[in-house]
Structure 1
């Protein structure tokens, strides 16, 4: 978030077709769909977008820390309106690493319980 009404993100070199940038140069109206598949939530945001190429400090500020690519410019999105959607048609997707972690914990717990069952039992 840049401010209360502005989202910003770094823009990286893609397939060199410049479709998004070309579209923005003709019509700045844009929509964003922010989807959280794990929680089955979606937000639609309407507004206008613009490309910022001549602000290295802003571009660097918007660079994701964990991404090695070099951003070429920034996109600033001025929010006009937004709405949350019904989750009915959003598939629940969970990252494989999260599933693996839960399964590993389950397997660890099974081993502990099996060891307890195999150990000596007291008769009370």
Structure 2
């Protein structure tokens, strides 16, 4: 198997997802050539780019997947104000770990297996991003928590979580239903209602002037 550190024959970043078993399934079903072209370009992206930063800045929800030592998966919802997932450096994301139901499944999994996965869905624009990496919990670092804590957010942070990005990819919009967040809908409806009220007032004024002339 190629060595990831080999500058002549590097392993494509997409191999983090495209294992030999996955490649065999692709070959059997006719998509291997397409993804081989992705691999020839180096595979998935590995650095946090401005377009990923912009995407994260609009996200108020995410799904975080971990697994224990036996491979049993667990997916947990993470949410907060838009942009609650912060960029720490060119390969690290971070977010405050808010107090919740205190099951601590994710923390337990991380004590055995640091591999993690973030799934981010933008329903309004029908976009999704997948991020593979390693996650670690940072305890007793109030300065780091303060850096990651969203401003004026009422949740209680317990620790910081740092996600080292190994690879990330953008999916096509196929099969993503378009859904609009309630605040955006409310704002659009208010704008419509305000416009209707202004037009009704204008019509009433015109009628009053016509009546005055009659």
Same fold (TM over 0.5): yes
Q: What are the ranges of 5 or more consecutive residues in structure 2 without an aligned counterpart?
A: 1-86
Deviation for aligned residue 1:115: 4.5
Q: Number of matched residues?
A: 121
Report what 2:97 is aligned to.
11
Pair 1:80-2:166 in alignment: yes
Which ranges of 4 or more aligned residues in structure 1 deviate by more than 3 Å?
A: 111-118
Q: Distance in 2 between matches of 1:43 and 1:89?
A: 14
- For residues 56-107 of structure 1, give each alpha carbon's deviation from its aligned partner in whole angstroms, at most 9, with x where no partner exists: 2111111111322221111100000000011122222212222122122222
The CA RMSD over aligned residues, in Å, is 1.8
More relative contact order, 1 or 2 (CA 8 Å, 6+ apart): 1
Pair 1:112-2:198 in alignment: yes
Report what 2:120 is aligned to.
34
Pair 1:20-2:106 in alignment: yes
Q: Distance in 2 between matches of 1:112 and 1:80?
A: 53
Q: For 1:43, which of 120, 129, 146 is the aligned residue?
A: 129
3-state SS, counterpart of residue 46 of structure 1: strand
Pair 1:63-2:153 in alignment: no
The normalised TM-score by structure 1 is 0.85
3-state SS, counterpart of residue 89 of structure 1: coil
Report what 2:188 is aligned to.
102
Q: Distance in 1 between matches of 2:153 and 2:96?
A: 11
Q: Distance in 2 between matches of 1:43 and 1:91?
A: 15
The normalised TM-score by structure 2 is 0.52
3-state SS, counterpart of residue 75 of structure 1: strand
